[in-house]
Chains A and B, each alone.
Chain A
Amino acid sequence: MATINVNGVDRQFDGDPDTPLLWFVRDQLDLNGTKYGCGTGLCGACTVHVDGVAVRGCLATVADADGKSVTTIEGLSEDGDHPVQVAWRDQNVPQCGFCQSGQIMQAAALLAANPNPTDQEILDEMQGNICRCGCYQRIVTAVRQASTGA
């Protein structure tokens, strides 16, 4: 039996401990904001925070997260007003939107660890999150906005 605090609520799971966090939050908790994109840690659509660190939910398992705190996009802020979320809206970042939960979680973790990243640090940190629609120009601008609050 694993116990994981998800978005502030303790959740128990007695299924397969190898279950990736992605499928645990989606199928068991109906937290559907975390997306499946590749299943192999290559696209970042499933990015969640485990004890504040951005991880790929398709690779991290329930066992890995046992006893830890997981934050999904649904738990990033009360009303969707995390500075990264606000910046995403201000910059009209999304097109189809599917990858954006992962992008936002990645950016939020980046800024939590490094509140004023250089442009190069932004690019390096965000390169693991693919956007097939090609919103990168606005993603970078939005991260920059969120970092400065400008």
Chain B
Amino acid sequence: MLQYLNKHHAISPLPQAGRAIIENVSRRSFLKGTTGLVVAMQLVPFDTAAAFDSYPTNGLNMPNGVVNDPHVFVAIDPDGTVTIVAHRSEMGTGSRTSLPMIIADEMEADWDRVKIVQAPGDEPKYGNQDTDGSRSLRHHIQPAREIGAAARRMLEQAAAEKWGVGVDEVVANNHQVVHKTLGNRLGYGDLAEAAMAMDTPARDDLDFKDESEFRYIGKGNVQITDLHDITTGKAVYGADVKLPGMLYAVVARPPVVGGTVKSVDDAAALAVPGVQRIEMIPGTGLGAKFKPKGGVAVIADSTWAALKGRNALEIEWDDGEHGSFNTADYRKELSASANAPGKSVRSQGDTEGALANAAKVLSYEYYQPHLAHAPMEPPAALANVAGGKCEVWAPVQSPYGTRVDVADYLGMDEKDVVINVTLLGGGFGRKSKCDFAIEAAYLSQQVGAPVMVQWTREDDIQHSFYHTTSVEKIDVGLDADNKVVAWRHRSAAPSFLSTFVPDEGFEHEIEIGMGLENLPYDIANISAEQCKAMAHTRVGWYRSVSNIPRAFAVQSATAEVANELGRDQKDFLLEMIGPARILDWQASGLPQKFWNQYEPYEEFPFDTGRLSGVIELAADRAGWGKSLPAGEGLGIAGHRSFVSYIAMVVHAKVEDDGTVRVPRVDVAIDCGFVANPERVRSQMQGACVFGMTAAMLSGITFENGRVVESNFHDYEMVRADNFPEVVHTHIVPHPFSVHATGVGEPGVPPFLPALSNAIFNATGKRIRDLPVGDQLKA
């Protein structure tokens, strides 16, 4: 996400795949002995831009772009083992498996003989590694095929040379190259050295497999590579790397952002057996990017001693300017702001005039509090600063960003910093922010020993980079015939820009583009305004970001208007979307193009037909319109985000005591070509659970600048005793030519309004404030 703030549409220099050299990887012990990487190779500079002409995505414009050279990503052992580098972080979506799987399929490698290794943070070598924005497959599916096709070509060429025949006489097939007529065979291991010593073939010489020849792509028959390790406890997460002589640290951080230590009495902490020393971490305020919040670190020979030591600290804090931040007051501020004109981000037709002349204006106000990501693995990182070098092991979404930030904070050269990426025990955007890795590196630098920083759950919930809080105000104008003639959406929400630059109280284009400026409705007069909201805590992106409150507001309001008019909610929603068309930003009253997840609009247009299509599909599969017992209802919502179209029908059952159960969800997803349908299904199941937590339970409350909630007793999660019981995922099939789009995030936004609409249809009670909490309790 951050790179957008830096580049702001500037086109980065083209990635230089030809620059990729072997030192960084071959120094990694996990690759020792792999032939392809111990053979020095001459790489020709590779014209990546040309290679992407056929499949343009914003991947090329990301910092350090995209690399598609097999010499960087593939190594083959003499025993035939194919090692493929995963360069994106794995936090549960499965991309660490899916991208290598695509390479393996395209190069005709046998998946059972493929090993996956994780790349360290090195974007000049691997291309962009910033794992968020639901773009790992979107940006890398085609490069992965190019890597595979090039590797296959090199293997075929090597075999042809060995046999002294033309390359067109041979073909790669399931880990062997075969002579088409003579039947000679050479295994990939036998060809490894010769193949990997070859130059990368020119893009024009590559041929790609026909979709009918795929073994793994699109099949859902490949299990995640870490499955066995996960089920046996061997999978390695942030806190699972151990070094000789390492120390364990926990940090007491200022409870209010920008707060500082007024005084500290550490005598009792130092008296705890095992506690070795106390270190101060300098404080920061808002706008400090991912620099640590500061505080007092207790460093010990075990985690338990560090925790006991921290409990024994006596600290007096100076809270600073945000010490009066209170959620209850702030909500009133947001509401006042959203109920007055703001800065226009879209003005189509004459919305003010149409509202003034409307026969009736329906007004709705929706609220969502700040949220914390709460990944099951709280932040944790190990760092070792020694001999002028810094090595970090951390579960970070942006390993290269972490490398740059750690180097900057420590005053070291980036080339002296190594970031090793462990598995992420959930990310959801929290681990895009590398403050915890910087803490570990800083403390290691201070104490001269490896230091593991472990965040407790309380730390995680109380010192997050929070999902924005917002008031969304929607006014809908009806004419005398009850036709919708105007739609005005005002949004007041503090921006994550405040985490990077001095806060001006207005959002970044990314946030505006997530459901505020791009209402896909066929209405003559549409306006969208962002209303000022100053941040008083660290705001960061959280899975699906601003799409959550926007989809909740728009899709709730649509159902509310339908009810007001006595219309079927699904029919009315489809009528609002109108005929199938490509949204035209110029005709839509936008000052500039729709923010389109930075994807080229021509390639990834907003096609309202695809949105209507998933709404109809979900409705059909759910049996929309069927009669249900009292206290039960279906709710529907559709939303486009991360350039994917998803609609859901949620079946809610509200019990007499107000308990909400969800026996079934029908998800229809149109995310272009699907490489791994099994992981799409798991992501949709997960999105429903994540959405249900946000809808029913989650809210971060500030009192006097401090977060009230602290652990899972008051920041609750959906559990196994009440979760969306059966999630049916219906995937719209597409050929490879239809761009793959996001999967990790876009499932969440439609769930909340679909559930809320279902609750309304079950009970007649309209939820406008999130979370639902006790609102339905008798």
- Among A34-66, those with CB < 8 Å from B are 34-40, 42-43, 45
Q: Quick check: A137 and B237 within 8 Å, CB to CB?
A: no
> How far is A98 from B240 in the complex, measured between Cα atoms in Å?
11
- Indicate if B230 sits at the interface (CB-CB under 8 A): yes
Q: Quick check: A80 and B232 within 8 Å, CB to CB?
A: yes
> How far is A135 from B689 in the complex, measured between Cα atoms in Å?
8
- Among B379-429, those with CB < 8 Å from A are 423-428
Q: Quick check: A16 and B689 within 8 Å, CB to CB?
A: no
- Indicate if B483 sits at the interface (CB-CB under 8 A): no
A12 contact set on B, CB distance < 8 A: none
- Indicate if A147 sits at the interface (CB-CB under 8 A): no
Q: Quick check: B425 and A96 within 8 Å, CB to CB?
A: yes
> How far is A15 from B302 in the complex, measured between Cα atoms in Å?
10
- Indicate if B766 sits at the interface (CB-CB under 8 A): no
- Among B288-324, those with CB < 8 Å from A are 302-305, 307-308
Q: Quick check: A135 and B686 within 8 Å, CB to CB?
A: yes
- Indicate if A138 sits at the interface (CB-CB under 8 A): yes
- Among B356-377, those with CB < 8 Å from A are 374-377
Q: Quick check: A27 and B304 within 8 Å, CB to CB?
A: yes
Q: Quick check: A39 and B718 within 8 Å, CB to CB?
A: no
With A95-B686, A96-B375 already in contact, the answer to whether A129 and B91 are too (CB < 8 A) is no
- Indicate if B235 sits at the interface (CB-CB under 8 A): yes
Q: Quick check: B242 and A136 within 8 Å, CB to CB?
A: no
A74 contact set on B, CB distance < 8 A: 232-234
* In the complex, per-residue mask of A71-94: 1 if CB is within 8 Å of any chain B CB, else 0: 011101100100001001100101
Closest-CB distance, A20 to chain B (whole angstroms): 7
Q: Quick check: A100 and B302 within 8 Å, CB to CB?
A: no
With A37-B378, A94-B231, A98-B237 already in contact, the answer to whether A129 and B720 are too (CB < 8 A) is yes
Q: Quick check: B231 and A134 within 8 Å, CB to CB?
A: no
Pick the residue among B223, B236, B723 that contacts A89 (CB under 8 A): B223
> How far is A135 from B690 in the complex, measured between Cα atoms in Å?
10
- Indicate if A118 sits at the interface (CB-CB under 8 A): no
- Indicate if B523 sits at the interface (CB-CB under 8 A): no
- Indicate if B509 sits at the interface (CB-CB under 8 A): no
Q: Quick check: A131 and B304 within 8 Å, CB to CB?
A: no
Q: Quick check: A133 and B233 within 8 Å, CB to CB?
A: no
> How far is A98 from B226 in the complex, measured between Cα atoms in Å?
11
| Chain A, residue nearest B686 (CB) | A134
Q: Quick check: A42 and B376 within 8 Å, CB to CB?
A: no
- Indicate if B214 sits at the interface (CB-CB under 8 A): no
With A20-B304, A43-B376 already in contact, the answer to whether A80 and B228 are too (CB < 8 A) is yes
- Indicate if B163 sits at the interface (CB-CB under 8 A): no
- Indicate if B93 sits at the interface (CB-CB under 8 A): yes
A131 contact set on B, CB distance < 8 A: 376, 689, 720
| Chain A, residue nearest B683 (CB) | A95
- Indicate if A5 sits at the interface (CB-CB under 8 A): no
A34 contact set on B, CB distance < 8 A: 233
B232, B237, B723: residue with the most chain A Cβ atoms closer than 10 Å: B232
A136 contact set on B, CB distance < 8 A: 689, 718-720, 723
Q: Quick check: A98 and B377 within 8 Å, CB to CB?
A: yes
- Indicate if B341 sits at the interface (CB-CB under 8 A): no
Closest-CB distance, B455 to chain A (whole angstroms): 9
> How far is A16 from B301 in the complex, measured between Cα atoms in Å?
12
With A27-B248, A42-B711 already in contact, the answer to whether A96 and B304 are too (CB < 8 A) is no
- Indicate if B284 sits at the interface (CB-CB under 8 A): no
Number of interface residues of A (CB under 8 A): 60
Q: Quick check: B426 and A38 within 8 Å, CB to CB?
A: no
Pick the residue among B92, B224, B239, B374 that contacts A32 (CB under 8 A): B239
Q: Quick check: A36 and B688 within 8 Å, CB to CB?
A: no
> How far is A80 from B302 in the complex, measured between Cα atoms in Å?
29
Q: Quick check: B457 and A92 within 8 Å, CB to CB?
A: no
Number of interface residues of B (CB under 8 A): 67
A94 contact set on B, CB distance < 8 A: 92, 224, 226-227, 230-231
Q: Quick check: B224 and A38 within 8 Å, CB to CB?
A: no
Closest-CB distance, A61 to chain B (whole angstroms): 10
> How far is A44 from B685 in the complex, measured between Cα atoms in Å?
21
With A42-B712, A97-B423 already in contact, the answer to whether A89 and B227 are too (CB < 8 A) is yes
Q: Quick check: A137 and B233 within 8 Å, CB to CB?
A: no
Q: Quick check: B240 and A32 within 8 Å, CB to CB?
A: yes
Q: Quick check: B227 and A123 within 8 Å, CB to CB?
A: no
| Chain B, residue nearest A99 (CB) | B376
A88 contact set on B, CB distance < 8 A: 231
- Among A90-120, those with CB < 8 Å from B are 92, 94-101, 104
Q: Quick check: B231 and A85 within 8 Å, CB to CB?
A: yes
Closest-CB distance, A75 to chain B (whole angstroms): 9
A35, A36, A126, A132: residue with the most chain B Cβ atoms closer than 10 Å: A132
Q: Quick check: B231 and A92 within 8 Å, CB to CB?
A: no
- Indicate if B735 sits at the interface (CB-CB under 8 A): no
A23 contact set on B, CB distance < 8 A: 302-304
| Chain B, residue nearest A34 (CB) | B233
Closest-CB distance, A4 to chain B (whole angstroms): 15
Q: Quick check: A97 and B726 within 8 Å, CB to CB?
A: no
| Chain A, residue nearest B228 (CB) | A80
- Among A2-46, those with CB < 8 Å from B are 15-16, 18-20, 23, 26-28, 30-40, 42-43, 45
> How far is A99 from B94 in the complex, measured between Cα atoms in Å?
16
With A43-B376, A98-B376, A131-B376 already in contact, the answer to whether A19 and B302 are too (CB < 8 A) is yes
A123 contact set on B, CB distance < 8 A: 720-721
- Indicate if A145 sits at the interface (CB-CB under 8 A): no
B224 contact set on A, CB distance < 8 A: 92, 94
Q: Quick check: B375 and A132 within 8 Å, CB to CB?
A: yes
> How far is A94 from B231 in the complex, measured between Cα atoms in Å?
8
Residues of A with Cβ closer than 8 Å to B? Answer: 15-16, 18-20, 23, 26-28, 30-40, 42-43, 45, 72-74, 76-77, 80, 85, 88-89, 92, 94-101, 104, 122-124, 126-140
* 9 additional A-B residue pairs with CB within 8 Å, beyond A16-B273, A76-B232: A33-B234, A36-B303, A95-B92, A126-B721, A128-B719, A131-B689, A133-B92, A133-B689, A134-B723
5 A-B pairs with CB atoms under 8 Å apart are A30-B242, A32-B236, A42-B713, A132-B374, A134-B687
